[in-house]
Structure 1
Amino acid sequence: MVNVWGLVAILLFVLAPNVSSYDRPGPRKNLVIHRSDDDDSSPDQVHISLVGPDKMRISWITKLSIMPTVVYGMVSRKYENSANGTSSSYHYLKIYQSGQINDVVIGPLKPNTVYYYKCGGTFSTQEFNFKTPPSQFPIKFAVAGDLGTTEWTKSTLDHLSKWEHDVFVLPGDLAYADFMQPRWDTFGRLVQPLASRRPWMVTQGNHEVEHIPLLHPERFTAYNHRWRMPFEESGSTSNLYYSFNVFGVHVIMLGSYTNFEPGSDQYQWLEKDLKSINRKATPWLMAVIHAPWYNTNEAHQGEKESDDMKSSMETLLYKARIDVVFAGHVHAYERFNRVYQDKFDKCGPVYINIGDGGNEEGLATEYKTPNPAISLFREASFGHGQLVVMNATHAHWDWQRNDDDVSVEKDSVWLTNLLADSSCKI
């Protein structure tokens, strides 16, 4: 099987231009994580995600076909509730067969409450737990993009595990499987300790496309099966773009690698979603993309997923008074001032690029000089960030780099949302 996946890696360069080919220094080796036990019915790669205001999706994989059932309650080992869900599986290149991918939505759930659960019913041996987001400020988001499965990834995850947060946001490029499907399994096992305890809300990046002309024409096969997000609940018809609410915050997850032109399904959905926002209920607005619209790094310049999407959608976000836009793709950190159409604009969003989670390609170390005035902080280091929404008007952003595996604060700023600025009328 190793030789087969080696041939697939060669096909990557021949048939898949979505994967970047330029050199980046400082990578660490990829990890390989196998199942922790021999029970083919035991839950593997457990992760959770938000569904509406009071529900949670529990997702996991088993080798054997089972009834997708979750039992749960507010007391350990006492499960007063149960729910059934759906399951699926997929083939890739006729040489990889996924396990049974199970998705179960549970709830209604109380806010700011710890729930204990088992995947597969009461006979399952392993108990997990998670905490629901609170129904009042502060709300804490952890943010990191372009994770991968390397030792740098593990360092980032270790730091995040010590950083209290309510929701994790990932702006694309999850496993860096790049057609080699067993890497998806390693990624699921690597993130399980965190992703089974706090909701992970993700969007896709270029490394999720995994499209090979003639051999595998379907795009996003593994991503759509493994990481199902609440798109239907937000009125979207695609798992590649959706929105969700956490108390006081409306988050829009956009798809850089699906159609975004005016008139496209995603564009029309975004228009409708922005019009439906209740700013009294959610005074903060956040958008998440993969390919950044603003970027002073030499990496990933001139790509249509950045430039054309910006041309199509920037004005929509500006008029809606989006407060902050997170992006990945560039393997470095950069924070911009409030910007619109390439210039400072006090009514524009703050753009933050955070594609520095720990992938195998290393860092993008070359920046354009001189530094444009709209770029306030930039550094090519692996790291992660946290946005703490303190109240209806103020939030604090903090980015920490992985400095010899020690998490070190390097950039922080207080943000005031645009709703509080009377001159930025909506």
Structure 2
Amino acid sequence: MRFLVPVTIVLLICVNVAASDYVRPKPRKNLEFPWDRKPSSQPQQVHVSLAGDKHMRVTWVTSDKSSPSMVGYGTSAGRYDYMAQGDSTSYSYVLYKSGKIHHTVIGPLEPNTVYFYRCGGEGPEFQLKTPPAQFPITFAVAGDLGQTGWTKSTLDHIDKCKYEVNLLPGDLSYADYMQHKWDTFGELVQPLASARPWMVTQGNHEKESIPFLMDEFVSYNSRWKMPYEESGSSSNLYYSFEVAGVHVIMLGSYTDNDPGSDQYNWLKADLAKVDRERTPWLIVLFHVPWYNSNEAHQHEGDDMMASMEPLLYASGVDIVFTGHVHAYERTKRVNNGKSDPCGAVHITIGDGGNREGLARKYKDPQPEWSVFREASFGHGEFQIVNSSHSLWTWHRNDDDEPVRSDQVWITSLMSSGCRVEKRHDELRKRLMGP
């Protein structure tokens, strides 16, 4: 369903169902998804991601080391008018040896178009749809997914959403050193992730480091390659991309972010290059929330907030999505620890369905900047209608169907009285120099 909103009218519609008014159903049994390695060249764990202007990256795994990193694709079923050659990698983790992980970039692709593709010259045919070139566009958003019955419920609900891009602010598989769980996660999300681009950033469960033996993020970086090189980043842990009038920045909560760090310097440069005429919406994702009234994970993001929030504020960031806290919370526009009409809306959505359960305890009284909070599994839909208006909806999964539990129209800072263009021009001059 699409929403048409007159630009001259500012709408603010909130549907707030207080947690105290909601009777949560009995917990469902968590399910496990067993993995059985299939020794063949058949593509497994297929997912796609955006890879620069008009391009997408297709990633899949084969157990046959001789399988080619080749993708045939076209706009008609069974007919592959174009071929792309990519590369591959693999990794060892203690006694585990991964399959051959293929990464192949296809394109240029037409916007808002269905493409049929086949990986490695054999196996089933998949299809994907490219995002539109302009508004409207819808993002699905869910963090801290894992592999439980609640995860399956979240994925089923997202599958019913008419979205173009999925955003995941960290904690994907919850493999936690058991590497075969990366494989089961890849199989679990393949039906959705092979059809729409999944754009992810890392969480604490992706670290998987073993002192003196295994570096951090080896599994994550090998399997979920994002367009960091295309965005001028030196690390797969932070990057940016643009789609349909939106500039999206994915930051790393678990890599250096203090002033002078590579990530900090990259963020300054990336923000300075943003053209708010071309991309009037500016969105940021990372794992650890800065504004959190849940008792879980208090103050873990304080250092990152101290160093980076001034940059985001000066650039007029509209929305910040985070995970980590296994619950849902939405704030007013905030900055420097208090409400600010020119700050960003912060949304914690670490409620995808992980095995650790929900973070049920909130601080009392509720901070003045916190609008809505509830400890339930769910997902969000961010529908950007035009350059000035968007509709955010959060659906809880506790019900048999995805109920709209929190909904609000959000007006972009570009169309407000915050003079984002002037602030951003000043930032650009300060960051880039004469």
Q: TM-score, normalised by structure 1?
A: 0.91
- In the alignment, which residue of structure 2 is the partner of 1:316? 311
Aligned pair partner of 2:325 in 321, 330, 345? 330
Q: Deviations over 1:25-72 (max 9, x none)?
A: 958434224359x46100000000001120010000000111100000
**1 CA distance for matches of 2:356 and 2:409?**
32
Is the 1:330–1:356 Cα contact (8 Å) retained in structure 2? yes
TM-aligned CA deviation for residue 405 of structure 1: 4.0
Aligned pair partner of 2:127 in 110, 126, 129? 129
2:405 matches 1:410: yes
List structure 1 runs of 4+ shifted beyond 6 angstroms: none
Is the 1:322–1:349 Cα contact (8 Å) retained in structure 2? yes
2:356 matches 1:361: yes
- In the alignment, which residue of structure 1 is the partner of 2:89? 88
TM-aligned CA deviation for residue 406 of structure 1: 2.4
**2 CA distance for matches of 1:59 and 1:28?**
32
- In the alignment, which residue of structure 1 is the partner of 2:385? 390
2:194 matches 1:193: no
2:43 matches 1:43: yes
SS class of match (2:230): helix
Aligned pair partner of 1:348 in 339, 343, 358? 343
- In the alignment, which residue of structure 1 is the partner of 2:210? 212
2:185 matches 1:184: no
**1 CA distance for matches of 2:416 and 2:406?**
24
For residues 93-242 of structure 1, what are the structure 2 equivalents within 5 Å? 93=94, 95-121=95-121, 124-216=122-214, 218-242=215-239
2:297 matches 1:296: no
SS class of match (2:57): strand
Aligned pair partner of 2:302 in 287, 303, 307? 307
**2 CA distance for matches of 1:109 and 1:35?**
35
Q: Which runs of 5+ in 2 are unaligned?
A: 1-25, 424-434
Q: How many residues are treated as equivalent by the alignment?
A: 395
Q: Deviations over 1:183-218 (max 9, x none)?
A: 1011000000000000000000000000121332x0
SS class of match (2:397): strand
SS class of match (1:115): strand
Q: Deviations over 1:348-387 (max 9, x none)?
A: 0000000000000000000000011100000000000000
- In the alignment, which residue of structure 1 is the partner of 2:80? 79
Q: Which runs of 5+ in 1 are unaligned?
A: 1-24
SS class of match (1:236): coil
- In the alignment, which residue of structure 1 is the partner of 2:251? 254
- In the alignment, which residue of structure 2 is the partner of 1:31? 32
**2 CA distance for matches of 1:243 and 1:418?**
20
Letter in 2 for 1:232: E
- In the alignment, which residue of structure 1 is the partner of 2:58? 58
Aligned pair partner of 1:267 in 264, 274, 277? 264
Letter in 2 for 1:109: L
**1 CA distance for matches of 2:295 and 2:404?**
25
Give the share of equivalent positions with the same residue, in percent: 58
Once the two structures are overlaid, the 10-residue window that deviates more, 362-371 or 27-36, is 27-36
Q: Deviations over 1:292-348 (max 9, x none)?
A: 010000000132xx1100001000000000000000000000000000011110000
Is the 1:318–1:349 Cα contact (8 Å) retained in structure 2? yes
Is the 1:229–1:239 Cα contact (8 Å) retained in structure 2? yes
TM-aligned CA deviation for residue 137 of structure 1: 1.0
**1 CA distance for matches of 2:104 and 2:63?**
17
**2 CA distance for matches of 1:136 and 1:313?**
29
SS class of match (1:234): coil
Is the 1:68–1:85 Cα contact (8 Å) retained in structure 2? yes
**2 CA distance for matches of 1:314 and 1:136?**
28
**2 CA distance for matches of 1:26 and 1:184?**
25
**2 CA distance for matches of 1:41 and 1:260?**
41
Q: TM-score, normalised by structure 2?
A: 0.89
SS class of match (2:402): strand
Q: Deviations over 1:94-153 (max 9, x none)?
A: x100000000000000000000000002xx130000000011210110000000011110
Is the 2:206–2:217 Cα contact (8 Å) retained in structure 1? yes
Letter in 2 for 1:108: P
**1 CA distance for matches of 2:153 and 2:99?**
28
- In the alignment, which residue of structure 2 is the partner of 1:245? 242
Letter in 2 for 1:389: I
Root mean square deviation, CA, Å: 1.3
**1 CA distance for matches of 2:31 and 2:110?**
39
- In the alignment, which residue of structure 1 is the partner of 2:428? none
**2 CA distance for matches of 1:41 and 1:27?**
37
Is the 2:290–2:299 Cα contact (8 Å) retained in structure 1? no
- In the alignment, which residue of structure 1 is the partner of 2:283? 286
